[in-house]
């Protein structure tokens, strides 16, 4: 298997099952109906193993606007809310753990999630605004690793992006930390509950300026 040294310590997050679970459970906004069945193929109980993903998320990222939405929603909901700074607290689908983890389970350190996806470009617009702060060539790989920070003030989420050693058409993106804000590319709508009078998020859409919205 391929993977750059450190990634052996990580379990690749299975975006497919994320789409399955989150697309259905979160309800509003993202239509995941027919896509779910195709996402389901190839998923087995071993998604937690130290293996590359048994699928190619980029097929969906490239071609399917609803999946673009799903990815953006994933970034918003899952990374923003589910990944805790200590220990894993990610949604699980009845035995089929949809995520994975991550190093330092017992240590109070920042969570990390790695994605491997096929892409011609390294920079995948996940809805957040990133500022590059470093670039480093790593051992055992001819490809440099790029370091990004979330450019939103007060948010210290980082991500690393590098091309896979054995197949440069694959990009490995590692997210670290929790956004303390929502994605700037998402526009949320609120409604007021007639009973309680409280406001709640009734829906959202990708803002016209987003990369996703251009497809």
Nearer residue to DNA within complex by CB, 5 or 168:
5
| Cis bond before residue 102 (omega within 30° of 0) | yes
From the CB of 106, what's the least distance to DNA, in Å? 13
Contact 43, 16 (CB under 8 A): yes
Nearer of residues 54 and 184 to DNA, judged by Cβ: 184
User: Which CA distances in Å does 151 have to 70, 75, 145?
Assistant: 23, 16, 19
**Cβ distance to DNA smaller for residue 47 or 161:** 161
Q: How far is the CB of 13 from DNA (least distance, A)?
A: 17
To DNA, the closest distance from the beta carbon of 146 in angstroms equals 7
Minimal distance in Å, beta carbon 199 to DNA? Answer: 30
Q: How far is the CB of 203 from DNA (least distance, A)?
A: 28
Q: Min. distance of Cβ 28 from DNA in angstroms? A: 30
Closer residue to DNA (CB): 32 or 119: 119
Residues that bind DNA in the complex, under the rule CB under 7 A: 5-6, 129-136, 138-140, 145, 147, 151, 158, 160
Beta carbon nearer to DNA, 59 or 166? 166
Q: Cβ closer to DNA: 62 or 129?
A: 129
**Residue 195 contacts by C-beta under 8 Å, 6 or more apart in sequence?**
none
In degrees rounded to 5, what are phi and psi of residue 170? -105, 140
CB pairs under 8 A, 24+ apart, for 15-18? Answer: 15/53, 15/57, 15/71, 15/74, 15/115, 15/117, 16/40, 16/42, 16/43, 16/53, 16/55, 16/57, 17/43, 17/47, 17/93, 17/96, 17/98, 18/74, 18/78, 18/98, 18/99
């Amino acid at each position: 298997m391929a993977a750059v040294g450190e990634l052996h310590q990580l379990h690749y997050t299975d975006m497919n099952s994320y789409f399955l679970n989150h697309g259905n459970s979160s309800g509003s906004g993202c239509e995941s109906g027919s896509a779910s069945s195709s996402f389901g193929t190839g998923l087995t109980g071993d998604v937690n193993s130290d293996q590359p993903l048994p699928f190619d998320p980029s097929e969906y990222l490239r071609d399917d606007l609803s999946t673009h939405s799903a990815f953006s929603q994933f970034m918003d909901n899952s990374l923003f809310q589910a990944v805790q700074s200590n220990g894993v607290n990610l949604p699980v689908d009845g035995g089929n753990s949809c995520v994975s983890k991550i190093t330092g389970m017992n240590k109070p350190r920042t969570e990390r999630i790695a994605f491997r996806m096929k892409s011609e470009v390294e920079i995948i617009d996940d809805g957040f605004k990133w500022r590059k702060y470093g670039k480093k060539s790593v051992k055992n790989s001819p490809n440099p690793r790029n370091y990004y920070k979330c450019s939103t003030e007060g948010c210290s989420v980082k991500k690393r992006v590098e091309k896979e050693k054995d197949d440069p058409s694959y990009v490995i993106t590692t997210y670290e930390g929790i956004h303390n804000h929502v994605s700037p590319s998402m526009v949320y709508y609120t409604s007021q509950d007639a009973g309680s009078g409280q406001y709640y998020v009734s829906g959202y859409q990708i803002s016209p300026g987003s990369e996703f919205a251009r497809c």
